Structure 1
Amino acid sequence: MSSVSEGRIPDSSVRSVTHGPVRAVLRADDGTGIEAVYDPCTADDATDTVIVVAHGFTGSADRPAVRRAVEIFSRYAAVVTFSFRGHGRSGGLSTVGDREVLDLAAAVAWARSLGHRRVVTVGFSMGGSVVLRHAALYGDRAADAGDGGGDGSVAERGGRTGAHSDAHADVVVSVSAPARWYYRGTAPMRRLHWMVTRPTGRLVGRYGFRTRIHREAWDPVPLSPVGAAALIAPVPLLIVHGDRDPYFPLDHPRTLAAAAGDAAELWLERGMGHAENAADETLLTRIADWAARR
């Protein structure tokens, strides 16, 4: 699967010192323009930590749930948000988790270019799977993905060799992520697969959810989230999942945690639904506090 840029988006220069929100257009390693927003830490004792937030499918940097997370996370650290390709004002087409790892790498590299030495990635749903694969591919243990989940996607072939070779994460938080691809065991996931794989569904995605979806299937299939989780150690990993998640049942987070081993901590949240829309202020505060102490 490949992504096609929709129109030219001019590159932007980034200031090394900022005192307020900054918007920029980044370039993923395949040339796709990615909109990004930097919010400085609001605490008096700001550190050199930055939290990079990866939204879920059909989200964007400006969605209310993402901005709510920014408001809470910025009490602990600076925050970078961005829109995955095919979402918001970013270029290209959504590959539903494959090339999106290049978008996250660009956002992490930008965060480091602003002077932050410690990067925490926090991903929700699709973004949760992307932060797992990103940590595996850009970490010290980056290796091929010989786990049966595929080892030849664009992102895997790029690895740390592209322009953003210093785009690794120091701490990873994955919220409401799937453990495996092609899961259709719930009604919401069957609807999502219809939207991604059918022409009519992609029209619904474009005009109903403002998400532009690539029409080609993965070939080859990228490294699975559970395969990536096994490669993340010793980077600290937090896996968060709601016990009322309508998309992915609890075997998904448990499988991820088991694959990650001692590097992972698992939170099963009572009464929580799915992803950023279900993450309330209390949970987001706990996540930020956990990340700040790792």
Structure 2
Amino acid sequence: MSSASEGRIRRSSVSLLTPPPQCVTLLTDDGVPVEAVYEPCTRRSGSRGAAPADTTAIVVAHGFTGAVDRPAVRRAARVFARHAAVVTFSFRGHGRSGGRSTVGDREVLDLAAAVAWARELGHRRVVTVGFSMGGSVVLRHGALYDAPAHAGARPGTDSADPGAYADAGAHADAVVSVSAPARWYYRGTAPMRRLHWVVTRPSGRFVGRYGFRTRIATEDWDPVPLPPVAAVPRIAPAPLLLVHGDRDPYFPLDHPRMLAEAAGPDGAELWVERGMGHAENAADDALLDRIAAWATDGTTA
């Protein structure tokens, strides 16, 4: 799975529906078409009719085998829309997007395209919220794509490209990572051993394609992308929220604690959710509402 050159984003202007909601096909920097949906903030008092420039946009990065039309993703979008405009999209290899999943590597390009689209629509403040695989992607994206005011302030962030990106369209103003791993190749739980079988074996990829509607790349990572635990110290000064369930069957609590420790003093806020399982399927409406409130704190949205 290649991690080469993650730079600026090209995108198409092909609109499939008249907004709201607005459905488009984005084109990533490496030429992969990605389906995306934009929904304005609809329910919170005072936000209906507000200009995009005065409203936060939340970009949702789903977990592995998810997609823009999956019920858990749509539910998250509905809750988030009470606080902010929402962009949902399908990672490469998922849903109606093109390409093949690289399980968190080149997916950073898909997220960058979605963030840039939110800014093209007029939103000055964009927050990324990722779940599981998407949680690792938002962490790496936060390290790789820098706001113009801080361009060059971060050290090299990825084995494939040693520089941080100064891209006015693609950076996140705050990052929320839910149920993310701290390190790659983790096989310490039965669900993760099953996931590795799906990703690495031909029979597993067959199940992924026809059982989970997920097309998976056959190549190994080369080079290995920056791991989440190495990305989190480089997200500052953007605020970072880490959310994890104490009953997560995929990643035990040493993962979020390792991420929080790596972020350094005051570098991240950690919420350990009692009784919560894994990712968007386990995040109830109350938690999603709290995440959205954190993401929009201090804004007019």
Corresponding residue of 2:190: 187
Question: 1:12, CA displacement in angstroms?
Answer: 2.6
Structure 1 runs (4+) deviating above 3 angstroms are 140-143, 156-159
Q: Is 1:281 aligned to residue 282 of structure 2?
A: no
Aligned to 1:6: none
Find the aligned partners of 2:31 and 2:123 in 1 and give their Cα distance: 24
**Identity of matched residues, %:** 73
- Does the 8 Å contact 1:49/1:116 carry over to 2? yes
Secondary structure of the equivalent of 1:263? coil
Is 2:205 the counterpart of 1:202?
A: yes
Matched-pair contact (CA < 8 Å) for 1:34–1:84: yes
Correspondence list, 1:80-119, <5 A: 80-119=87-126
RMSD, aligned CA: 1.9
My pick for the range that moved more, 106-115 or 253-262, is 253-262
95 and 115 in structure 1: CA distance in 2 versus 1, 3 angstrom threshold: same
Determine whether 1:144 maps to 2:151.
no
The alignment status of 1:128 with 2:131, answered yes or no, reads: no
Cα shift at 1:158: 8.5
Q: Aligned residue for 2:221?
A: 218
Residue 20 of structure 1 and its aligned partner are, at CA, apart by: 1.2
Q: Distance in 1 between matches of 2:126 and 2:77?
A: 15
SS, match of residue 203 in structure 2: helix
The whole-number CA distance in structure 1 between the counterparts of 2:2 and 2:135 is 21
CA deviations over 1:232-258 (Å, ceiling 9, x no partner) = 111100000000000000000000011
The one-letter code of the counterpart of 1:185 is G
Q: Distance between the aligned counterparts of 1:157 and 1:75, measured in 2?
A: 39
Q: Residue 143 of structure 1: CA displacement?
A: 3.3
1:270 to 263, 274, 281: 274
Say if 2:46 is the partner of 1:45: yes
The structural deviation recorded for 1:292 is 1.1
| Distance in structure 1 (CA, Å) of the matches to 2:115 and 2:45 | 24
Q: Which amino acid is the alignment partner of residue 179 of structure 2?
A: S
Distance 1:168 1:14, change over 3 A: farther
* Aligned positions of 1:153-172 closer than 5 A: 153=160, 156=161, 160=165, 166-172=169-175
Establish whether residue 31 from structure 1 lines up as the match of residue 35 from structure 2: no
Q: Structure 2: how far apart are the matches of 1:181 and 1:37?
A: 30
Q: Counterpart amino acid of 2:107?
A: E
| Counterparts of 2:155 and 2:55, CA distance in 1 | 29
Secondary structure, counterpart of 2:34 in structure 1? strand
CA contact (8 A) 1:160 1:166 kept: no
Change (3 A) 1:159 1:28: farther
TM-score normalised according to structure 1 size: 0.90
1:58 aligns with 2:65: yes
Matched letter for residue 46 of structure 2: D
In structure 2, the residue matched to 1:242 is 245
- Aligned residue identity for 1:45: G
CA contact 2:15–2:25 (8 Å) conserved in 1: no
| Helix, strand or coil at the partner of 1:72 | helix
Q: Which residue of 2 aligns with 1:20?
A: 20
**1:105-139 residue CA offsets vs partner (Å, 9 max, x unmatched):** 00000000000000010000000000000000002
The alpha carbon displacement at 1:267 in A equals 0.2
Q: Between Structure 1 and Structure 2, how many residues are aligned? A: 277
Q: Secondary structure at the match of 1:257?
A: helix
Is there any run of 5+ residues in structure 2 with no aligned partner, and where?
A: 4-10, 48-53
Query: Where does the alignment leave 5 or more consecutive residues of structure 1 unmatched?
Result: 4-9, 146-150
